[in-house]
Amino acid sequence: MLYTYEPGGAATKDSLRLMIPDRPVEGEDPPAVFSVAELDRLFVIIGDLRLTVAEACDIIASEESKMAIYFTLNTGLSIDKRQVAKELRERAKQLREAAAKVPYDAVDSFAYRVDEHGRDLSEYEGEGGGIGDPNSDEIL
């Protein structure tokens, strides 16, 4: 399996690795949580960068929760591995909320006019100027 990451790279897998974070660590087996093929497949399934990162964080959190332990030694030293899964789930929640705020369609004008026959007589901003003549019988 391939586990690559190029800092500042334009490839989707580089953006995903940066945001998860899931950058390969040399000498570890496997070097990262997700292979390039897994990241690509996850992005194809989800189709949105932030939502893909959120899903990846949830996947990692699920794995981390299997290993979540908490104990305190007699010396007073405490080890709490429950926080990792909790923080990843919180990150996933924040990413989903941020993705929900992004508009899907951009509309350049909400000023519209329709005649009694339902013909659009609006004057749209942008290229081409306005369309529709209220005195014309031409069907647009």
Count the domains in the chain.
1
114 inside domain: no
How far is residue 38's CA from residue 134's CA, in Å, rounded to a whole number?
Answer: 56
65 inside domain: yes
Q: What is the pTM of this model?
A: 0.63
Mean pLDDT of the chain: 81
For 63-94, the pLDDT digits (tens) are 888 877 777 888 888 877 778 889 999 999 99
Percent over 90 (pLDDT), the chain: 50
Strand partners, 71: 79
Mean pLDDT for the stretch of residues 3-27: 93
pLDDT value, residue 130: 43
Structural domain boundaries, residue 54 = 12-100
- 49 touches 16 (CB < 8 A): yes
pLDDT value, residue 49: 93
137 inside domain: no
Cα 123 vs. chain centroid, distance in angstroms? 35
For 97-133, the pLDDT digits (tens) are 988 887 655 555 555 677 777 777 766 544 444 444 4
pLDDT value, residue 129: 42
106 inside domain: no
pLDDT value, residue 60: 93
